[in-house]
Structure 1
Amino acid sequence: MDVSLDGSTGGYAGRIEVLEGRSGRRFRSEAERARIAAESMMPGAKVADVARRHTVTRWQVYDWRKKLMAGALALPAETADAPMFAALVVEAKPAVLIVAEN
């Protein structure tokens, strides 16, 4: 009995293309994961915004935060002492009303 699953009968299965190289996954170092987790823990930071900025999922950031708090991830010494940037808020000067007396 001759059985053909792909519909071909001549023994030719078609063209097969082999892709080599990196997959779509990105490897992040322990220091980079710790830095992203620490950034998400800054006051006013939103995990979703941090995750989007670094093209990771929120769940990865939550996992890295948990590991950072448990001591499984550690910030490198040069990152821990590096100055952090703060948001600059500029407010307009209040208008001063001058009343002339006559």
Structure 2
Amino acid sequence: MGVHLDGSMGVGVSRLEVIEGPSGRRRRTKAERARIAAESMMPGVTVADVARKHGTTRWQIYDWRKQLRNGNLVVPESVAALPVFAELVVDDSSAAASARSDLEIVVGDVVICAGAGANEGQLTRAIRAARAATS
């Protein structure tokens, strides 16, 4: 028994069409995987939303996050240099702390105290220096 595509019963196949396109499996570079994993770790972002956005599965992103934590993936410098915002917590329990500074930023073991006159550039440089010192 033979298979005939677009041909008569006695001749065989006279035309075969090959349709190319995505096979469903993507090859991503290590930089892409690291960037997607880092994106999924941002505050307020869900892994499911990131997976849907990039056409991947949640379990793949969880695996990439694990590789990122273990050092098998490295976030590209262009992504690592982007500012990351931390959650702001206001603690009214200590009046002495507010007398020292208007703002305290904690980066790892480093506490950055800033007055009301500190501008964005100064704070950015201080945070980058603290990150560099703790890494």
Partners of 1:64 and 1:13 lie apart in 2 by 46
State the TM-score, normalized to the length of structure 1.
0.62
Structure showing greater radius of gyration is 1
Rounded Cα–Cα distance in structure 1 between residues aligned with 2:71 and 2:11: 58
Identity %, equivalent residues: 57
Query: Residue type matched to 1:27 in 2?
Result: R
Distance 1:51 1:67 in 2: 16
1:23 is matched with which residue? 22
Q: Which has the higher helix share?
A: 2
> Structure 1 regions of 5+ residues with no counterpart?
87-102
Q: What residue in structure 2 maps to residue 38 of structure 1?
A: 38
Q: How far, CA to CA, are the matches of 2:26 and 2:3 in structure 1?
A: 35
The SS at the match of 1:84 is coil
- Cα deviation, residue 44, structure 1: 2.9
Corresponding residue of 1:12: 12
Residues in 2 aligned to 1:14 and 1:38: alpha-carbon distance in whole angstroms: 52
For structure 1, which segment, 26-35 or 46-55, has the greater mean C-alpha deviation from structure 2 after superposition? 26-35
Distance 1:32 1:6, change over 3 A: closer
Name the amino acid aligned to 2:10: G
How many residues are matched?
82
